[in-house]
């Protein structure tokens, strides 16, 4: 009898467990179905809203179209204003440039006529030296015309400067293309100068670059003393070079700077 009772108890526990599992499965299925229904409803509502927005008669679509039209009008106005400003700018060609009259000097000199927006001197790509002509851009075309008329055949440092106003039909983009003249944009010129100095120093038995330039490790704590020492050493180096050249030509000069004899 006891064994039968035990069997009955086991069966009852198994039945309760199976019922509980079934109930849990049913609850999970119901929850998933409810979630799917909610998702379907949300997707339908989104599609309906999109259709309403796409429709021309809806107020939302009308508001969006008004805003977009306003933005487009503003963009077109700004573009047209920029193009008008660019057209108003005047470019002047300047030729027979004297030595030493370059970008900075041109900007300062021609700013007396009006606002100068851009300046460029045509230079050699190899050496970086001026080719003798350049271009100046003014903010207003009338100012450019006045500057070109007044500066044409102007005597500057022994040269007759030639200027001419360039109308917008004949202007090109390459007038102010590329980088301005700096050591970085034209490094070959500076490297060539150092190379020439080294060659001249080797011919005379000295290397002026090594002898005259002080390295950063040799700098003293006092900046004033450092600058003075550099200036003195540069002057001594140049005087030594002159004395050695004169000796080769048969001229002997004895000079003294303080305790130093040259």
3-state secondary structure of 100: coil
- Alpha carbon separation from 117 to 85, 90, 92, 132, 134 (Å, rounded): 12, 10, 12, 21, 14
Phi, psi at residue 154, to the nearest 5°? -85, 130
Q: Report how far Cα 216 is from the mean position of its chain's Cα atoms.
A: 30
Q: What angle do CA 206, 208, 213 make, to 5 degrees?
A: 140
Domain-wise residue ranges, the chain = 87-176, 187-254
Q: Which residue shows structure tokens 């309760």?
A: 16
Beta bridge partners of 94: 134, 163
Two tokens, residue 223: 């900046």
Distance CA(99)–CA(102), nearest Å, equals: 8
pLDDT at residue 110 in the model = 93
The Cβ-side half-sphere exposure at 234, using a 13 Å CA radius, reads 8
Q: Which residue shows structure tokens 């079934």?
A: 22
Of the CATH numbers 3.30.70.330, 3.40.50.300, 3.40.50.2000, 2.40.50.140, which one belongs to the domain with range 87-176? 3.30.70.330
Q: Return per-residue pLDDT of the chain as tens, 262 residues.
A: 545 555 455 455 556 556 655 665 676 677 777 777 777 777 766 666 555 545 555 555 555 556 566 666 666 665 554 444 455 789 999 999 998 898 889 999 999 999 999 999 988 777 778 889 999 999 999 999 999 999 999 998 889 999 999 998 888 877 887 666 665 666 566 666 666 676 666 555 555 445 554 444 444 456 667 777 777 777 778 888 888 888 888 877 776 665 656 5
40: number of Cβ within 10 Å? 10
pLDDT at residue 96 in the model = 93
Q: Are strands 90-95 and 159-166 parallel, antiparallel or unpaired?
A: antiparallel
- Alpha carbon separation from 148 to 109, 115, 135, 164 (Å, rounded): 13, 14, 11, 5
pLDDT at residue 219 in the model = 44
């Amino acid at each position: 009898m006891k064994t039968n009772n035990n069997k009955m108890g086991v069966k009852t526990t198994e039945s309760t467990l199976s019922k509980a599992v079934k109930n849990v499965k049913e609850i999970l299925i119901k929850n998933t179905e409810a979630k799917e229904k909610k998702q379907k409803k949300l997707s339908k509502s989104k599609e309906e809203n999109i259709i309403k927005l796409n429709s021309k008669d809806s107020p939302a679509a009308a508001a969006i179209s008004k805003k977009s039209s306003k933005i487009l009008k503003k963009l077109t106005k700004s573009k047209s204003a920029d193009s008008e400003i660019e057209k108003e700018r005047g470019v002047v060609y300047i030729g027979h440039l004297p030595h030493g009259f370059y970008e900075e000097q041109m900007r300062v000199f021609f700013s007396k006529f009006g606002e100068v927006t851009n300046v460029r001197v045509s230079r050699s790509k190899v050496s970086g030296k001026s080719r003798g002509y350049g271009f100046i851009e003014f903010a207003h075309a009338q100012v450019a015309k006045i500057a070109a008329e007044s500066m044409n055949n102007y005597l500057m440092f022994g040269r007759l400067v030639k200027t001419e106003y360039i109308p917008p039909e004949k202007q090109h983009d390459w007038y102010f293309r590329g980088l301005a003249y700096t050591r970085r944009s034209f490094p070959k010129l500076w490297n060539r100068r150092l190379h020439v100095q080294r060659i001249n120093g080797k011919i005379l038995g000295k290397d002026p670059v090594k002898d005259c330039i002080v390295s950063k490790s040799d700098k003293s704590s006092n900046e004033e003393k450092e600058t003075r020492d550099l200036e003195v050493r540069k002057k001594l180096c140049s005087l030594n070079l002159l004395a050695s050249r004169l000796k080769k030509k048969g001229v002997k000069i004895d000079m003294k700077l303080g305790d130093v004899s040259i």
